[in-house]
Structure 1
Amino acid sequence: MSRVAARTLLSTGALTARSVRPASLPAFRAVLPPTSSPTSSLSLFRFKSTTTSSWAKNPVITYEELKPYTQQPTDDVLIVDVREPDEVALGSIPSAVSLPLSQLRDALDKNFGPGEFQKQFAFSKPLTSQNLIFFCRSGKRSATASEWAHEKGYNNVRNYQGSWLDWSKREKESGSDED
């Protein structure tokens, strides 16, 4: 059959593309998924880094690990006291900043702007990639703070479980306590 004849028969519906397939080619059928808009399909996937920091692998920090960060503070590590201001007034870990647990969840929200954060808490809003260490009086509120920070997208978070009680006891034992 000539191409012209085949085209004519195809256009009239008398012939289908399947019936004019050369005998030497196998028949196949491709099953494609239903199409959707690109934006709706992107939400199906979450891309995460395949490298996990040591902070994410070990969510608890000890006194021995914390002590050097208090002696030589850096911008890479932020020590956050989540106790209320009246508790902080009794003493705090050196180089720590105060962000009461009662305000932490809202403060770490992405809608809480850096300027507003700086004005309210007197330090820069932590970056989601920054290493954060939370502590409180005994470790319970700081554990909650760690969970909330994770919910807000902060992945490099550690909890000082011993918190202020452990810190003040060890500092007195070592003679480092300034009181």
Structure 2
Amino acid sequence: MATYEEVKDIPNQLDKYLVDVRNKSELKETGTLPASINIPLPDLEKALNLPDEEFKASYGRVKPSTEAVVIFSCKAGGRAARAANLAKTMGFANAKAYPGSWTEWAQKEGK
């Protein structure tokens, strides 16, 4: 599981990925976590199966390798856990959830 401190340091860790699996409407209400990529949970499996070029065109970053650290976030941790489990079944060995997700982030950042 990922910690607040690890997520806060993501902008400085170019080899790690932070994927927010909330819907776009939720992001408009709350804002986003710094350096995160938005891939709504219903789209995650398809996104992780995209060819490298299509992933980069769609999400603005090189597709993570199956060895990359990929941290998933949502509003309160439930969808993040499901996303991490899905990614692990797809071969992403270092997938993990941020259990506090947006709720903890907003509290600690004073949002």
TM over 0.5: yes
1:93 aligns with 2:33: yes
Q: Which has the higher helix share?
A: 2
**What amino acid maps onto 2:45 in structure 1?**
R
Gaps in structure 1 of 5+ consecutive residues: 1-59
Which aligned segments of 4 or more residues in structure 1 are displaced greater than 3 angstroms?
none
Q: Per-residue deviation at 1:115?
A: 1.5
Percent sequence identity is: 35
Q: Which has the higher strand share?
A: 2
1:69 aligns with 2:10: yes
- Greater RCO, 1 or 2 (C-alpha within 8 Å, sep 6+): 2
Equivalent residues in 2 for 1:15-164 (5 A)? 60-70=1-11, 72=12, 74-89=13-28, 90-109=30-49, 112-164=50-102
Gaps in structure 2 of 5+ consecutive residues: none
Q: TM-score, normalised by structure 1?
A: 0.57
Change (3 A) 1:119 1:65: closer
Deviations 1:14-65 (A, max 9, x none): xxxxxxxxxxxxxxxxxxxxxxxxxxxxxxxxxxxxxxxxxxxxxx112133
Q: TM-score, normalised by structure 2?
A: 0.89
Q: Per-residue deviation at 1:80?
A: 0.8
Matches of 1:167 and 1:161, distance apart in 2: 10
Matches of 1:165 and 1:88, distance apart in 2: 13
**What amino acid maps onto 2:76 in structure 1?**
S
The structure having more radius of gyration, on CA atoms, is 1
Q: How many aligned positions are there?
A: 110
Deviates more, 1:127-136 or 1:117-126: 117-126
